[in-house]
Structures are given as structure tokens and as C-alpha cells.
Structure 1
Amino acid sequence: MKKRLIQGLFITCAGFSVNAFALGYTADFEACMRKAQSQSDSINTCQIKEYKAQNKRVKHLYKLTLKTTAENEQALVKQSQDVWLQRRDHACNIQNKKAKAFSISNSSCALQMTMSHADMMEVRLNNKNMK
């Protein structure tokens, strides 16, 4: 019995460390930025690639959030996500633009807002799952 409890705690701690690792930038982005040094085209390429990874993360977390939300609250989650997307697009001036067409300021803004949103969603999901 005691052995099972210890194994369960170990697995739980390992799961939390994996989730904590997912917060923030990917290791690929950090390596890309070191390689880019101060070349703006290379920096923009790194930012766009990371933006796509973070946007994919947001979509995944959004789906998980909908799965774990009561049916009567799902419309609110959808509305909240739509409002966030509109705010991000407006703030970063990326309406009707594909990521590959982003300028360095578009990609920097979109990356920061998207990563922050993904981090927030992940923390909320983890807190919800701990209850």
C-alpha cells in the first residue's frame, strides 16, 4: 500500500514537472534566437515559427478546456476565446494575414500575446484538474 502511494506521488510530481516545462518558449525558439543573433530577418523567422507552435498549443488547450467545462458554460468559453482572438489580431495588426506575411513587429506582438494566453490557459486547466 505504501509503495503504491509513493509511486502515485512520483507519477503526479513527474506530471506537474512536464506541465511546468510546457510554459513559456520552446527550446527550439531559444536555440533559433541564439543562432539568429541580431539579424532581423532571422529573428522574424524564429518568432513566426514559435508563434505557430504557441498558436497550436492554444488550440489544443482550448479543446481541452471545452472538454472539461460544463455544457452550460461552454458558450462562455467559446465567446471568451473569440474575444481574445479579436483583441490579439487588433493589437498586433494581423487581420487577414498569414503568419508567414508578418512583419517583425507583428510576429513579436502575436507571439507574446499567444504565449501568454497559452500559459494562462494551461495554468487554469491544471488548477481545475487539481480540484
Structure 2
Amino acid sequence: MKHGVAGVALAVLAGASWAQDAPEYSAVYRSCMESAQSTASMSECSAAELKREDARLNQAYKKAMAGLEADSQGRLRDAQRLWVKYRDSNCSMYYQLTGGTMDILNGGGCSLSMTKARADELEALQGL
């Protein structure tokens, strides 16, 4: 059953537009997903990884803000607020797309993927 649920989840996640580039996640996450035996446990793995990526995003945002002049800080602040609204709105669609339990994984995958990508983007700003 474990491989059946994981296979279906991966097939669904692979088909979602936000999962096209299949970003690298932590070893803890990969291990968690490999041992997950239900949609609920897979969701817990994603939630824990999202928490890690969200912390990384917040740290990258603070560092990026610290390296910018005041006018650029305002633009980044505005962009970040809009990005959060977009991520939340976009991923809410996946959380409610079919009405089934897979929506939990699809919504979580969307939030995780978008948060990781934004953290990567903010970290790249620090080098400019």
C-alpha cells in the first residue's frame, strides 16, 4: 500500500505545474517520504519541510533587506507581500481542486515548492 499511495502522489505531483522542476529538498524530508505509509504521514512530512523552508525564506528575506538601500527595501517589501498573497491564493486552489484527500498533498506540495523557490530567489539577491 505504501508504494501505491506514494506512486499516486508522485504521479499527481509530477503533473502539477508548480512541480515541473522538482527542486531538491532536505534529506530529512526524503527519508520521511520514503517511510510514509499514508496520505496523512506524507502530509506531515511536507508540513515539516515547509516549516524548514519557511524559516530559510524568512532568514533570506532579512539578509536581502539588510543589503539593500531604503528605496530598494521598500520595493522588496512590497514584492514579498504580493508574493505571499499569490502563493497562498495559488496553492489554495490545489488544496481544494478535487475535493479528495490528494488535495492535501497537492496543496502542501504547491506551498512547499513555491516557498523553496522564493527562498532560493531571495538568497540569490544577497550576491547582487
TM over 0.5: yes
Inter-partner Cα distance in structure 1 for 2:58 and 2:27 = 20
Inter-partner Cα distance in structure 1 for 2:70 and 2:123 = 20
User: How does 1:32-111 map onto structure 2 within 5 Å?
Assistant: 32-36=32-36, 39-93=38-92, 103-111=104-112
* Larger Rg computed on CA atoms: 1
SS at the partner of 1:103? helix
User: Size of the alignment, in residue pairs?
Assistant: 97
Residues 29 and 47 in structure 1, CA contact (< 8 A), matched pair in contact too: yes
Instruction: Give the TM-score of the pair, scaled to structure 2.
Output: 0.69
Instruction: Give the TM-score of the pair, scaled to structure 1.
Output: 0.67
RMSD: 1.9
Identity of aligned residues (%): 26
Unaligned runs of 5+ in 1: 1-22, 95-101
TM-superposed deviation, 1:24: 3.6
Inter-partner Cα distance in structure 2 for 1:24 and 1:84 = 21
Per-residue displacement from partner, 1:13-64 (whole Å, max 9, x unpaired)? xxxxxxxxxx84112111111111x521111110011011101111110000
